[in-house]
Structure 1
Amino acid sequence: MTNDPFKDYIRHIEPSKKQKGYAWQTAIGLQDVDGLQPPRYLREMAIKHIDGKISIETAEQWISQYYAAQPTLDESRTEEADKVSVQIAKLLSEPAFSFNVSQYLAIHKQLFTGIYPHAGKIRHYNISKKEWILDGETVVYGAAAELQAMLEYDLAQEKIFSYKGLSIDTVIEHLAIFIARLWQIHPFEEGNTRIGAVFLLKYLKTLGFDASNDIFAENACIQLQNIWCVFCVIYC
């Protein structure tokens, strides 16, 4: 049998330097929400990937080898920042995406496997967290017994929503309320802001938006979480 002449056209094309640069900038910036700062080693490795000197799989392997060779280091949070950054960059460089609960859980699992034992698993107890932006008050998060149903409902409602004919301001307002409500569910023990941001970026691309911007880069994710808190109080 001859080689498929369409194989090269169908195969996923390597992201451009600009796309990879945004993916890494976002991946590292998202760690700030939990006070995590990836070391210079990760940034240097990211540049090698952006320049095409190594693949994202090689970057992932190097990070694992780096920490495996130094098991006595008390740098668990740094290790988390490094490993999660690689996974975020990897996810944002891939076009594959499904708008459903399974995808939401799968992204969390990919980001936090080896970091949290509950990676990809919905929490089974109720939580509250004091938010300084709300003067120490907590957002009313989803009840543990209803988390799966809440996720399914919010995604189902968004799926049937039509953006046709809407002004850009209306679209932005709707998306802001949608993702704030999704974040308010807080289905996981940890990592809810990072998973929410990655899910939103991938969803925006399916809607035709150029999500390659600085909204989640550098320290912006901290402001993002604060905005979501306020939105939850006002609209949810």
Structure 2
Amino acid sequence: MTVDPYVDPASGVLRNRLCIADAQRLCEVDAGLTRAALADLDTRILPGGYDLAHLRCFHREIFGDLYPWAGDIRVVGIARSDPFCLPQHIEAYSADVFDALAKERYLRGLSRDRFIDRLTHYFAEVNAIHPFREGNGRTQRAFFRQLGREAGWFIDWSSLDPDSNAHASKASLRGDNGPLRTLLDSLLSF
């Protein structure tokens, strides 16, 4: 059995700055702190190059008050219904994805349909990387919301249906980006 360095062995709860040992309480505190951090990020631009380092900055901004490992690339394998990128491949895979995003000028100047197509592609790729132990979805959404805003589009995550999101994520991990494209299309405005 592999030891998860992010989990306190005594409580089985993610290690955190507040020494919370109850999973339900940690979930509640996590939700409150991250809600505030995400609201703050909606009011400003977090500088960076839309690369892995920038994604790490988003994670640190969102989760840094709670988790000492916020912004760190995970060192353990994780999975939901399907496994995410193995930790030893995260940096190389991320470099390929973010280099391609840069070559596409961070999706600026695209028609709505083309923007959704490319956003879907990159969202699926970053989701497959899943570079953090916890908080990948919230980090991705903040990252791509800012990228979209700088490309002239508004992504309204407030109307995101959790079940549709989970379905789209699972489908994209299996190579079907259709549900994810439909989901993102429903959240996008000019």
Q: Same fold (TM over 0.5)?
A: yes
Is the alpha carbon distance of 1:86 and 1:157 closer, same or farther for their aligned partners in structure 2, counting shifts above 3 Å? same
- Residue segments in structure 2 that go unaligned for 5+ positions in a row: 1-17, 178-190
**1: CA distance between counterparts of 2:121 and 2:146?**
17
- CA shift for structure 1 position 197: 0.6
- 1:185 is matched with 129
Which residue of structure 2 lines up, in the alignment, with residue 159 of structure 1?
Answer: 102
Question: Does residue 51 of structure 2 align to residue 107 of structure 1?
Answer: no
Change in CA separation of 1:96 and 1:121 when aligned onto 2, cut-off 3 Å: closer
Whether the 8 Å contact between 1:142 and 1:186 is mirrored in structure 2 is yes
Deviation at 1:218, TM superposition (A): 4.9
Contact 1:88 1:198 in 2 (8 A): yes
Cα drift, residue 165 of structure 1:
7.7
**SS at 1:126's partner residue?**
coil
User: Which residue number corresponds to residue 64 of structure 1?
Assistant: none
- C-alpha displacement at 1:158, in angstroms? 0.8
CA distance in 1, matches of 2:160, 2:109: 34
Q: CA RMSD in A?
A: 2.6
Which position in structure 2 is the counterpart of 1:232?
173
Find out whether 1:141 has 2:91 as its counterpart: no
**TM superposition shift of 1:121:** 0.5
Kindly provide the amino acid, as one letter, of the partner of residue 180 in structure 1.
Answer: A
After superposition, where does 1:58-73 map in structure 2 within 5 Å?
none
CA distance in structure 1 between the aligned counterparts of 2:153 and 2:37, rounded to whole angstroms: 22
Could you tell me how far 1:87 is from its partner in structure 2? 0.4
Query: Given the alignment of the two structures, is residue 120 of structure 1 paired with residue 71 of structure 2, yes or no?
Result: yes
After superposition, the C-alpha distances for 1:100-147 in whole angstroms (9 at most, x for unaligned) are 2221101101111232232110011222222xxxxxxx1x41111111
1:95 and 2:38 are equivalent in the alignment: no
Unaligned 5+ segments in structure 1 are 1-67, 131-137
Letter in 2 for 1:190: E
Q: Is the 8 A contact 1:180 1:229 kept in 2?
A: no
Q: What secondary structure, in the 3-state scheme, does the structure 1 residue paired with 2:36 have?
A: helix
* Matching residue within 11, 16, 25 for 1:75: 25
Question: Greater relative contact order: 1 or 2 (C-alpha under 8 angstroms, separation 6 or more)?
Answer: 1
Q: Which residue matches 1:207? A: 151
Q: CA deviation at 1:181?
A: 0.9
TM-score, normalization by structure 2: 0.71
User: What is the aligned-residue identity percentage?
Assistant: 19
Choose from 84, 87, 99 the match for 2:34.
84
| 1:150 partnered with 2:100 | no
More displaced stretch, 161-170 vs 194-203: 161-170
Size of the alignment, in residue pairs? 156
Post-superposition Cα deviations, 1:159-205, rounded to whole Å, max 9, x if no partner, equal: 11155885422321221111111111011111111101110100001
CA contact (8 A) 1:97 1:202 kept: no
Cα 1:186–1:179 shift into 2, 3 Å: same
2:72–2:132 CA contact under 8 A, matched in 1? yes
Q: Is the 8 A contact 1:87 1:111 kept in 2?
A: yes
What is the letter of the counterpart of residue 39 of structure 2? A
Residue number in structure 1 paired with 2:183: none
